[in-house]
């Protein structure tokens, strides 16, 4: 008995020594633990395992050294001392409008925008590093573009717990998590006054590169598109593109209904579209993305871009009467890619950021810096961008309320009301707040459940590891994360440790910035992916960004003057109110929760 007590006490001493000295444990009841499961390497150091219980941290180019890359070098120490926190510069950029109104009219604006673009983009590894099959640098991870890439490698599959070494042996039930923390009790409007025009744009825009191909296995992307290629307009294969093209004057196929242009039916353009069996072929509209028949808002944007493509074709045809169909089509596609990027940066991201600094799409700002014009879509970006809390409880079109059952796959809504009516109505209906939790419509819970379950199959690292990867401080407690006690206590009970919290729940449950649509992590992790993907497009390179690429100064000018308002108003007969926010001068009239449904054009 004495020998047992002595051994027990010795074991306790060893345990305390390991905790105090912060040395990773190397022994468990199940045997030796992979030391990389402890994520010992800090500041983007790479953990390399040499033996069962031995590892080294590669600190190359991190600015830090030491066993775990924790000791700052001279310049890193200076940067740590003078660098403001992300919350500080977010505060500065979203306050003092008078100051930013002055800056926006000086050369200083270009300097700041250039700094934002380079600092954000440099956080994304280029060329890509990992994928879901390879948690280490390999040629396959680089060259196989059928995979989503990854910023952080997967959790090693021989770790003691699902998230490494912290937390419980089993993760909480995904359905329980979503029902408890994400399910809407009462609609929470976005304090940034985001509207449904924004919500549907987000869905429409991102479906050109967020195309998970589950039939191939885990972490695969359908169509191999990794950026703004407008495959949601033109299709993700040459076969689909050809089926949608008119092969005359560079144009896409279309049909005329009540004097207006709409996408063709699948009878006229035989492409695969996802529709219920109850929708006859002659009523199924054909588009680049097979899922866009799901929602009238997606069909509305598909119609606008169809009209814009054919409008630009007419302009180029007039300027270049000798061009054949193929050159007209290809050049128009490049122009629309440019229009899309400009609208995303100067309208979409501008609204989302809440910055008073006026963002600018000008590829020439990056011509003097090292920059790679290639992009790969990351699993983490795909996970992060599930913003379904934007969706309201019901939809209001010209004073008529539609629930989800009557809105989904309602093809006639587009042609019966017309694009102008949908734009006007969606611009005036407020969207939901994304961050903070408990704002996901019950009809959409299955989406969040699927995201969480997919992240577990892909073995995403814990939320705090991603915060550290993007230069943020790890949260110490669940209360630090949520900013309140009840939810924090529930999360503590389910996960057991803040360092075991999963990536997607962490993003959605993080306390939001004041008067903001979501919290710090969504901004600081999401923005680098977004800006790298936009500015890494080939048309932004010195080789492409010149008038001749776009058919001359006229085509170049279409890109440089593009905006959401122009996209709509140049392709409808009567220009409605159009923006990514509700009308701020008279907003209360247009919030359905107040039962004020008058949103006539």
Establish whether 272 is a catalytic residue: no
Q: Which helix (H) or strand (E) holds 262?
A: strand 260-262
Q: Which helix (H) or strand (E) holds 50?
A: strand 46-51
Residue 54's DSSP bridge partners are 51
Cα–Cα distance measured from residue 392 to residue 510, given in angstroms and rounded to the nearest whole number: 21
Cα–Cα distance measured from residue 308 to residue 252, given in angstroms and rounded to the nearest whole number: 10
Cβ atoms within 10 A of the Cβ of 63, count? 16
Cα–Cα distance measured from residue 387 to residue 254, given in angstroms and rounded to the nearest whole number: 31
Cα–Cα distance measured from residue 199 to residue 395, given in angstroms and rounded to the nearest whole number: 12
Dihedral over alpha carbons 65, 71, 76, 82 (to 10 degrees) = 170
Give per-residue burial for 214-227: e unless 16+ CB within 10 Å, then b.
eeeebbbbbbbbbb
Cα–Cα distance measured from residue 406 to residue 412, given in angstroms and rounded to the nearest whole number: 11
Give per-residue burial for 372-387: e unless 16+ CB within 10 Å, then b.
ebebbbbbbbbbbbbb
For residue 79, the SS3 value is: helix
Q: Are 441 and 514 in contact (CB under 8 A)?
A: no
Cα–Cα distance measured from residue 195 to residue 96, given in angstroms and rounded to the nearest whole number: 25
Q: Are 407 and 548 in contact (CB under 8 A)?
A: no
Q: Are 306 and 252 in contact (CB under 8 A)?
A: yes
Residue 158's DSSP bridge partners are none
Beta strands in 285-365 (DSSP E): none
**Lookup result for tokens 């009239």:** 589
Query: Would you give the distance in Å from CA 121 to the centre of its chain?
Result: 14
Catalytic residue among 91, 142, 207, 581: 207
Residue 568 has which token pair?
């709509």
Nearest C-alpha neighbor of 581 from the set 255, 259, 264, 347? 347
For residue 531, the SS3 value is: helix
| Cα four-point dihedral sign 241, 243, 244, 247 | positive
Cα–Cα distance measured from residue 408 to residue 396, given in angstroms and rounded to the nearest whole number: 13
Residue 598 has which token pair?
């008058």
Q: Which helix (H) or strand (E) holds 239?
A: helix 238-244
Q: Are 433 and 188 in contact (CB under 8 A)?
A: yes
Establish whether 207 is a catalytic residue: yes
Catalytic residue among 55, 64, 275, 385: 385
Residue 298 has which token pair?
């997606």
Residues 6+ apart with CB under 8 A from 51: none
Residues with catalytic function: 207, 385
């Amino acid at each position: 008995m004495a020998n047992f007590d002595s051994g027990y006490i010795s074991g306790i001493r060893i345990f305390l020594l390991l905790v105090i000295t912060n040395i990773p444990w190397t022994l468990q009841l199940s045997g030796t633990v992979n030391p990389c499961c402890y994520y010992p390497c800090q500041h983007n150091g790479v953990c390399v395992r040499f033996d069962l219980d031995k590892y080294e941290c590669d600190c190359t180019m991190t600015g830090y050294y030491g066993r775990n890359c924790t000791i700052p070098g001279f310049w890193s120490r200076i940067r740590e001392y003078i660098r403001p926190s992300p919350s500080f510069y977010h505060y500065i950029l979203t306050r003092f409008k008078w100051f930013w109104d002055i800056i926006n009219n000086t050369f200083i604006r270009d300097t700041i925008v250039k700094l934002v673009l380079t600092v954000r983009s440099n956080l994304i590894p280029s060329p890509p590093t990992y994928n879901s099959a390879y948690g280490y640098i390999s040629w396959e991870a680089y060259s196989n573009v059928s995979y989503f890439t990854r910023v952080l490698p997967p959790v090693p599959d021989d770790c003691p717990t699902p998230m490494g070494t912290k937390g419980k042996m089993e993760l909480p039930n995904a359905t329980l998590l979503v029902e408890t923390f994400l399910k809407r009790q009462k609609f929470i409007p976005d304090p940034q006054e985001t509207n449904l025009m924004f919500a549907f744009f987000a869905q429409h825009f991102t479906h050109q590169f967020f195309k998970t191909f589950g039939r191939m296995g885990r972490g695969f992307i359908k169509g191999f598109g990794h950026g703004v290629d407008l495959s949601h307009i033109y299709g993700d294969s040459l076969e689909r593109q050809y089926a949608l093209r008119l092969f005359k004057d560079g144009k896409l196929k279309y049909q005329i209904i009540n004097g207006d242009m709409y996408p063709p039916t699948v009878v006229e353009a035989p492409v695969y579209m996802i529709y219920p069996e109850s929708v006859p072929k002659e009523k199924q509209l054909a588009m680049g993305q097979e899922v866009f028949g799901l929602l009238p808002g997606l069909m509305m944007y598909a119609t606008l871009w169809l009209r814009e493509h054919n409008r630009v074709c007419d302009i180029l045809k007039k300027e270049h009467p000798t061009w054949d169909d193929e050159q007209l089509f290809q050049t128009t596609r490049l122009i629309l890619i440019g229009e899309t990027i400009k609208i995303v940066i100067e309208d979409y991201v501008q609204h989302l950021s809440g910055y008073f600094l006026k963002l600018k799409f000008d590829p020439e700002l990056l011509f003097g810096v090292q920059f790679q014009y290639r992009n790969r879509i990351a699993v983490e970006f795909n996970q992060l961008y599930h913003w379904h809390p934007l969706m309201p409880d019901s939809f209001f079109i010209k004073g008529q309320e539609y629930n989800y059952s009557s809105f989904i796959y309602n093809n006639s809504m587009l042609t019966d009301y017309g694009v102008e009516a949908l734009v006007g109505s969606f611009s005036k209906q407020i969207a939901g707040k994304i961050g903070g939790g408990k704002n996901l419509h019950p009809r959409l819970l299955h989406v969040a459940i699927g995201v969480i379950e997919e992240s577990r199959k892909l073995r995403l690292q814990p939320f705090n590891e991603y915060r550290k990867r993007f230069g943020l401080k790890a949260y110490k407690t669940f209360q630090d994360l949520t900013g309140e006690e009840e939810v924090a206590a529930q999360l503590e009970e389910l996960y057991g440790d803040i360092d075991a919290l999963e990536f997607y729940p962490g993003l959605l449950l993080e306390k939001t910035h004041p008067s903001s649509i979501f919290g710090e992590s969504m901004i600081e992790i999401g923005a680098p992916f977004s800006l790298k993907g936009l500015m890494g497009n080939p048309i932004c390179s010195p080789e492409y960004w010149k008038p001749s690429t776009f058919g001359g100064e006229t085509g170049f000018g279409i890109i440089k003057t593009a905006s959401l308002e122009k996209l709509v108003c140049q392709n409808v007969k009567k220009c409605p109110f159009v923006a990514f926010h509700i009308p701020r001068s008279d907003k209360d009239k247009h919030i359905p929760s107040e039962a004020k449904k008058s949103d006539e054009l």
